[in-house]
Amino acid sequence: MNDSNRQLETAGHEMHALISRLFPICRSMTGPGVRETLQILQEYVPLEVHEVPSGTPAFDWTVPREWDIRDAYIKDESGHRIVDFQESNLHVVSGSSPIHQTLPWSELKEHVYSLPEHPTWIPYRTCFHRQDWGFCVSHQQFVELEKKPHAEYEVCIDATLSDGSLTYGEFFLPGETEQELLLSCHTCHPSLANDNLSGIAVAVQLAKMLSERKRRYGYRFVFVPATIGPIVWLSQNEKRLANIKHGLVLALLGDGGNSTYKKSRHGHAEIDRAAAHVLKHSDADYSIREFEPYGYDERQYGSPGIDLPMGCLMRSPNGEYPEYHTSADNLELVEPEFLTDSLRKLLGIVETLEGNETFINLKPFGEPRLGRHGLYEAFGCDEDQARLQQAVLWVLNQSDGRHSLLDIASRSGFDFASIRRAADALQQVGLLELRPSRPTETNFPAAPLAPAGDSTDLAGKASCHPLPVHEQTPAQG
Ligand code: ZN
């Protein structure tokens, strides 16, 4: 096993450990569970915690009141807690209004939810946008309760819904250019592991790894409650949006399903092509989904007034695995090996974006004599020598300033790393140079903001000529 694989394997166990630590916390759209979660994440990455007061307008929405739950139970006639929030926070419908009453089963059952098709699992339910309350139980327990139709129960939800704030976390790693990659994951689910502690853990691990590398792009990580979170973040960061060149929502990255990429609203953005390329060369089954305006927060980032090129990376898609939104989405469902696999693919996407530049062949009249330029020595006696030579011919042929390295990789069938390596070799011997900035590109200064200390270059080569948003030329033919 090489160093990089060993590092990724260790990362898989670290991510699973973080998920295990966060799992018991009762998170919701707002409230102390989200704060506690972000506080724990601060031990891993120095993220800033933002509090947006209830009532703050955010486009067509308003920051809601804060929900704080201390305890909840259903007691039978002998005073025994038969449903106990302290045993599982999924027992209470998230966002429930407070209640303390004695009710007959006939009335109580209207507020009790179960899953007949999975009789031992507790469902996850919310009522954020309506005033209601409820409990979730296993269907086995529901059937038992049904056997005593005349029994009475003490029902208590000790919660408050009052003015407070919406809490989100943000972490920014600057790059050499002002352009950014935005990564977003939702933080509002209680004890559910894959949805979405897996997304949070992978994001944190990526942030840690990227902080030790040289970066062409800046990386902005946001940890927000679903839907209202990105809407609030977007409404408060409109000025930043022009710098966001690519984006990814991270969710459902720890289960055993195949990797799935849901395209951005654009459908052919550079992030879409990079993700498709990495999955295609991953030697595992995968699926690519078209954009649709439901699912995760790519809907908000891809709303028409915002229109960021933001895809979603997951494994089994939301709603398409039986454990989704149930107590079976637990620490056994997510495994270090699947987290590692997701992280590897995410790093592949990042490395592709970092390294995707457009070059110009400086000897474009016929093929240059490779030996004369010392290229055969540059190839060494690598086993892949013949392959690298082919990659070199592809890069030379296509580098007319109109095709990026990703275009060339896609057209040639080579993986991106081989094409990048060929471009680096050609650049070294002076046969290739970066395409100069176009006049419109002068708006994007390339002030070097390299981090201190040793750094590994993701791209192999740093670019002084970043391309503006949507400026990449698609591959032809
Ligand atoms: Zn969910």
175: CATH? 3.40.630.10
Show which of 114, 139, 162 is a domain's final residue.
Answer: 162
Q: Name the band, by pLDDT with cuts 50, 70 and 90, for residue 20.
A: very high
What's the gap in Å between 341 CA and the centre of ligand 1? 21
Does the pLDDT value for residue 283 go beyond 70? yes
User: Are 258 and 110 part of one and the same domain?
Assistant: no
Report the interhelical angle of 270-280 vs 336-355 (nearest 10°): 130
Does the pLDDT value for residue 92 go beyond 70? yes
Does the pLDDT value for residue 351 go beyond 90? yes
**Rounded distance, CA 394 to CA 413, Å?**
10
Residues 317/260, Cβ–Cβ less than 8 Å: yes
Residues 291/227, Cβ–Cβ less than 8 Å: no
Does the pLDDT value for residue 419 go beyond 80? yes
| Residue range 299-323: mean pLDDT, rounded | 97
Residue 456: inside a domain: no
What's the gap in Å between 328 CA and the centre of ligand 1? 13
Residue 450: inside a domain: no
Q: Name the band, by pLDDT with cuts 50, 70 and 90, for residue 438.
A: low
What's the gap in Å between 195 CA and the centre of ligand 1? 5
Residue 252: inside a domain: yes
What's the gap in Å between 325 CA and the centre of ligand 1? 6
Six token digits for residue 4: 């990089």
User: Are 39 and 90 part of one and the same domain?
Assistant: no
pLDDT at 471: 31
Residue 293: inside a domain: yes
Residues 210/173, Cβ–Cβ less than 8 Å: yes
What's the gap in Å between 405 CA and the centre of ligand 1? 37
What's the gap in Å between 323 CA and the centre of ligand 1? 11
Give the total number of structural domains in the chain. Answer: 3
What's the gap in Å between 36 CA and the centre of ligand 1? 19
Six token digits for residue 302: 């891809």
Nearest to 277 by CA among 419, 384, 181, 471: 419
How does DSSP assign 251-266, residue by residue? ---SSSSPEEEEPPSS
- Tell me the percentage of the chain whose pLDDT exceeds 90: 85
User: Are 199 and 335 part of one and the same domain?
Assistant: yes
User: Are 340 and 374 part of one and the same domain?
Assistant: no
What's the gap in Å between 186 CA and the centre of ligand 1? 9
What's the gap in Å between 88 CA and the centre of ligand 1? 17
Residue 471: inside a domain: no
165 by DSSP, 3-state: which?
Answer: strand
User: Are 204 and 231 part of one and the same domain?
Assistant: yes
Residues with CB under 5 A from ligand 1 (ion): 195
What's the gap in Å between 348 CA and the centre of ligand 1? 26
User: Are 95 and 21 part of one and the same domain?
Assistant: no
pLDDT at 476: 31
Does the pLDDT value for residue 439 go beyond 60? no
What's the N-to-C CA distance of the chain in angstroms? 39
Does the pLDDT value for residue 447 go beyond 70? no
Show which of 314, 332, 354 is a domain's final residue.
Answer: 354
**CB atoms inside a 10 Å sphere around CB 150:** 7
Residues 90/191, Cβ–Cβ less than 8 Å: yes
Distances in Å between the Cα of 316 and the Cα atoms of 298, 324, 400, 401, 473 are 17, 9, 40, 39, 32
- Parent domain of 122: 68-162
User: Are 322 and 334 part of one and the same domain?
Assistant: yes
238 by DSSP, 3-state: which?
Answer: helix
What's the gap in Å between 379 CA and the centre of ligand 1? 49
Q: Name the band, by pLDDT with cuts 50, 70 and 90, for residue 453.
A: very low
pLDDT at 234: 98
Report CA Rg, the chain.
Answer: 26
398: CATH? 1.10.10.10
Residue 34: inside a domain: yes
What's the gap in Å between 352 CA and the centre of ligand 1? 29
User: Are 343 and 383 part of one and the same domain?
Assistant: no
Does the pLDDT value for residue 407 go beyond 60? yes
| Residue range 96-120: mean pLDDT, rounded | 97
User: Are 143 and 254 part of one and the same domain?
Assistant: no
Digit-coded pLDDT (tens) for 43-83: 999 999 999 999 999 999 999 999 999 999 999 999 999 99
**Rounded distance, CA 469 to CA 471, Å?**
5
What's the gap in Å between 295 CA and the centre of ligand 1? 9
What's the gap in Å between 239 CA and the centre of ligand 1? 29
**CB atoms inside a 10 Å sphere around CB 383:** 8
157 by DSSP, 3-state: which?
Answer: strand
**CB atoms inside a 10 Å sphere around CB 169:** 23
| Residue range 369-394: mean pLDDT, rounded | 80
Choose the weakest-confidence range: 80-94, 401-415, 457-471: 457-471
User: Are 209 and 278 part of one and the same domain?
Assistant: yes
Residue 476: inside a domain: no
108: CATH? 3.50.30.90
User: Are 94 and 191 part of one and the same domain?
Assistant: no
Does the pLDDT value for residue 455 go beyond 90? no
Q: Name the band, by pLDDT with cuts 50, 70 and 90, for residue 373.
A: confident
Q: What's the whole-number average pLDDT of the chain? A: 91
| Residue range 5-18: mean pLDDT, rounded | 96
Residue 7: inside a domain: yes
**Rounded distance, CA 221 to CA 231, Å?**
15
pLDDT at 130: 87
pLDDT at 473: 32
User: Are 239 and 288 part of one and the same domain?
Assistant: yes
Does the pLDDT value for residue 308 go beyond 50? yes
pLDDT at 379: 66
Q: Name the band, by pLDDT with cuts 50, 70 and 90, for residue 451.
A: very low
Show which of 101, 135, 162 is a domain's final residue.
Answer: 162
